[in-house]
């Protein structure tokens, strides 16, 4: 689909709104690939520099303005600049309710999840957990297509964030339930989709973390070891959530 769009872009009459929308979505695509294949995408910073010039541009209105700040927030999070990331997310949030889209609920869920991530890393536990739960509840309502959950990966990732926050505040029993729930959902997802082993690996590792915090060391070792047996796909960006400091 992306190749078709690229071909159409070459042949279309110049339209600044369309070109800006394309540039923003291309930037989002590169961000996604940088998470999945960290050694493949090298020119995100270049694309960032091109898009930065659009800040305050007259064509940057409505959904384009939302996308601009949302994707920039994702970029800064990727760079581990949490303050700038949150600042841009907050700017994006101003435009979220004004977006006219059939998929507005999914747009909100994606946004809530990204906020939950940055709040988790800032150790703003209750903000993070609140946004992750809101995102999860929206993703859970989305239709099942051909027996597959449309947003199965997103649901599992939300569970990871909720788990991490519960572990931070030492609610180990609740954290363990979330970790097992994430594991079950990841297992189910892996039956129907390719390259989902990293989610199972992370879920098992998180179960091990929880048992380790509960000083049930035999169980912790068992799940850590089981996690390490899953070697595909080899992708260090999908390593399990780090133990809280």
Domains of the chain and any CATH numbers: 1-100 (1.25.40.10), 141-245 (1.25.40.10)
Classify burial at 12, counting beta carbons within 10 Å of its beta carbon; exposed 0-12, middle 13-18, buried 19 or more.
exposed
pTM: 0.79
- What percent of the chain shows pLDDT beyond 70? 77
What is the per-residue pLDDT for 189? 86
What does each C-alpha distance from 100 to 20, 62, 64, 95, 232 come to in angstroms? Answer: 18, 9, 12, 10, 40
CA torsion sign for 108, 106, 194, 129 is positive
CB 208 within 8 A of CB 177: no
Question: pLDDT tens digits, residue range 164-222?
Answer: 999 999 999 999 999 999 999 999 888 877 778 888 999 999 999 999 999 999 999 99
Range among 16-30, 93-107, 179-193 rated most confident: 179-193
């Amino acid at each position: 689909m992306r190749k078709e769009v690229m071909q159409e872009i070459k042949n279309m009459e110049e339209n600044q709104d369309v070109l800006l929308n394309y540039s923003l979505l291309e930037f989002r695509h590169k961000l996604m690939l940088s998470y999945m294949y960290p050694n493949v995408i090298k020119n995100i910073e270049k694309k960032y520099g091109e898009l930065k010039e659009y800040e305050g541009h007259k064509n940057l209105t409505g959904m384009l303005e939302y996308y601009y700040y949302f994707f920039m927030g994702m970029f800064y999070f990727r760079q581990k600049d949490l303050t700038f990331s949150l600042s841009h997310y907050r700017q994006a949030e101003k435009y979220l309710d004004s977006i006219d889209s059939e998929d507005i609920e999914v747009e909100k869920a994606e946004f809530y999840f990204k906020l939950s991530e940055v709040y988790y890393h800032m150790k703003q536990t209750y903000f993070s957990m609140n946004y992750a739960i809101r995102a999860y509840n929206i993703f859970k309502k989305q239709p099942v297509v051909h027996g597959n959950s449309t947003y199965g990966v997103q649901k599992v990732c939300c569970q990871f964030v909720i788990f991490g926050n519960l572990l931070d505040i030492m609610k180990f029993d609740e954290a363990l339930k979330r970790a097992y729930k994430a594991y079950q959902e990841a297992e189910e997802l892996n039956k129907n989709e390719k390259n989902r082993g990293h989610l199972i690996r992370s879920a098992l590792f998180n179960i091990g973390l929880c048992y380790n915090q509960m000083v049930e060391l035999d169980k912790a070792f068992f799940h850590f070891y089981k996690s390490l047996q899953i070697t595909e796909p080899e992708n260090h960006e999908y390593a399990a959530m780090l133990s809280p400091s």
